[in-house]
Structure 1
Amino acid sequence: MEESTSRMTYLVGDIGGTNTRLALADVTGVQPASVMRASNDAYESFDAVLSSYLQKTDPDSLAGVCIAIAGPVQAGKGTLTNRNWSLDVDSLRAQARAPHAELINDLSALGYALARVSTEHVFGSHQGATNGQRLVVGMGTGFNVSPTRATASGVTAMESELGHAELPYSVSQLLQDALGAAAQPFNTYEDCFSGRGLERLHDAVCGEKQDGKSIMESFAAEQPDAQRTVLLFARALGRMTQSVIHQFMPRDGIAFAGSASRGILTSKALPAFVEELTADHHGIVDAHHFPISLITEDVAALEGCLQYLSQTS
């Protein structure tokens, strides 16, 4: 039985707002040589992406398929939040000619990935009792979170659409104090905490439109407007992180993912983030005792899909 299982091949995928990744995997993990990254703009639908991938790889037989999408999933169906693509498990199963197909939210996939990938420590350390609870925070093209809990059978990763919820009052107040009337467009988590949010914030700070990469490069070069933008973003992120600690109590840590997360938490803006994170706004928990880390593996969501298949097959 073990030998048979080890030969099983799975198809895993991750559809973001901008790109799609597909790969083949087995019980040992994602096969690096099989990973394909596709620009969503180059395809009319996910079916077209999948068809192209299957033609290129021509797998003999697939034991299962799991695709993670940047959007809500219900009853085996899902639609991307930032793109008019819809998927369902019946179509996946038929197109891939696999007996088992699953569709999950992309942040849930990163939650399941915590059982299979390592994270890069940023701040904080465990002290006292843990509770098996962690939180994944995805900050890239969009924003979302996935609360997770370790169980005897693996990982339970819960769905969320926090990106579309209203910002915490503490964050809104910080933006209002810094920007005045220009803070008005920042109503939801995603309005602020995403790559696009950083770009909008820079426009509000100095009236200049720049892409996120250029803003971070200007910040590293100590350009004053970029300094104001990035440090304000980092402080707001610290307050938001303190808020989600109280909401979800992830005593085993918070794992950030996405390009916007890496840009801020690996930069010289980290002290501003930590200062706000550890400020005693509520006096209920000590943020020093909630480890902060980064998910840096590009195939983490694919590994999460594999983990989910292993728990559901």
Structure 2
Amino acid sequence: MSNEREQDFVFTDTDFRRVVSIIYARAGIRLNESKQPMVYSRLARRLRALNLAKFSDYLNFLEADPKHEEWQQFTNSLTTNLTFFFREKHHFEMLSDQLHKLHGPVRIWCSASSTGEEPYSLAMTAVEVYGRFNSDVQIIASDLDTQVLAKAQNGIYSMDKLDKVSPEKCKIFFLKGVGKNAGQAKVRKELRAMIEFKQINLLANSWPLTPYFDTIFCRNVMIYFDQATQKVMLEKMGRLLKPNGFLYVGHSENLHHMSEWFYSCGKTVYRLTDKAIHEWGLSK
């Protein structure tokens, strides 16, 4: 690749390496060479917004003030948020089985909620199991990206986003837009009330969460982190699980390197080993 591209802004290989280093330090996200076009496309919007001509100027601007609000825009721009309702259907079937066996308050953490399709799918599953919008089910939905969290909290989606949601579910859980809102659907307030949205950086030293969870969804997150970072993050998550809790990960992820603490109990679903329960001071 040449040092400069025939594009609107000067973007050198050195600039790309700086972006890779900065986003890794900031959010633990790994970017390989294939992500260069994506980085250019997404960050070019920020250069336009700030009236800057070169990526080096933008990166210098960021590093001059570690607390500047632009850091959030930088992080948001490089966060991938592919999601849809009931993605990996078998997980929600297994969750349904799990919920049928639980009594009393249920706590679920969706650790990468993106634009909200996943936590709303969790909430819909819980309502179907218990037959009502149940106040005993608490779902915490978190993400690093503040923009997608805002969209999730609004709970408004284009109708094409509901193509994997059955007509029965659509009728129960969504309000269909009319007039100027035609072509959109809004999550019913009773469903939204089951979910608390929080910004959480999974690389932070501590998370604003109270133990313990019956279920943690951490799907399609680890693919962005190296194995050392994964181990730290997963151990912290494990310590937040109840001894009989479940950890759900993405279809291309596995916890082979964490076999000391987790064992497989289904398709990309894990539970704590006896050693983890004992050494982390958990009790069955």
Same fold, TM exceeding 0.5?
no
Using the size of structure 1 for normalisation, the TM-score is 0.28
Which structure is higher in strand share? 1
